Structure 1
């Protein structure tokens, strides 16, 4: 399983909750976006990008590719990374992977386009150079 997560500097382990399942008896598609959010916020904590009073992150776009259905009981690992070549003036792209411990395989993959946002001015802002260099160093550990 470590091979599936080796390219992701932030990995969060989480139990699949009974309440995450729907009438089809598998984890509902919307829950994966909460899994991604958990990974994203943990990643931002690691790189110190959680200031919502000045320039901080805002989610502009997200997607999920489902590989196979998760069910209760299981434990998952959520891997999160930033794609180093994805930086542009106002943001970057993150990538997620959700791995089932029970099946030892990827259950879903996702992406998110993050925009750097000036919360005081209520508008997008250029990616701070210090943030970019911190993320690039973090990704190259």
Structure 2
């Protein structure tokens, strides 16, 4: 039986939103590499920084984003100390949801990638609500480019 083909490593330049962060000593586990659970925080950081930045206009009054799915592909170990580059691109916009393709790079190496889906909800109702047309328009600069793969 043949092993499945390995997906090509994502390229940071395919992701229109970039953010730098630090690997913290507290991110390590007993194996002295970044603990798998910490990657969810790295991915959260880039999503939240994009949508909460008021100049991007992605958080209309009375609405919010809720994470409903996070699928992480661990590609290589990450160690402390160091800096990382987080990349994000919108892979798909649905009626009430946004699906992001996200990466963590250490130097020129992709150490983790993820696909995450968030749903727009009403702050009062906590129910899914359609993404307003103006928010869909404001997401356009952040759409995924090139050949990025989760």
TM-score class, shorter: 0.7 to 0.9
Structure 1 runs of 4+ off > 4 angstroms?
none
- TM (norm. structure 1) is 0.87
- Give unpaired runs (5+ residues) of structure 1: none
Report the RMSD for the aligned CA atoms in angstroms. Answer: 1.9
**1:69 match:** 77
More helix by share: 1
Q: Is the 8 A contact 1:118 1:125 kept in 2?
A: yes
The corresponding residue for 2:139 is: 135
Residue 107 (structure 1) shift: 0.2
Shift of 1:140: 8.1
1:48 and 2:74 correspond: no
Q: Give SS of 1:19's match.
A: helix
TM-score by length of 2: 0.82
Structure 2 counterpart of 1:11, from 18, 21, 25: 18
- Which consecutive residues of structure 2, in runs of 5 or more, have no partner in the other structure? 1-9, 146-150
C-alpha offsets along residues 83-114 of structure 1, whole Å, 9 cap, x if unaligned?
A: 1xx2221112011100002xx20000011111
Measure, in 1, the Cα distance between the counterparts of 2:74 and 2:142.
28
In the aligned structure 2, how far is the partner of 1:91 from the partner of 1:137?
17
1:133 CA displacement: 1.0
Between the two proteins, the alignment pairs up a number of residues equal to: 134
Give the distance between the partners of 1:135 and 1:119, measured in 2 at CA.
21
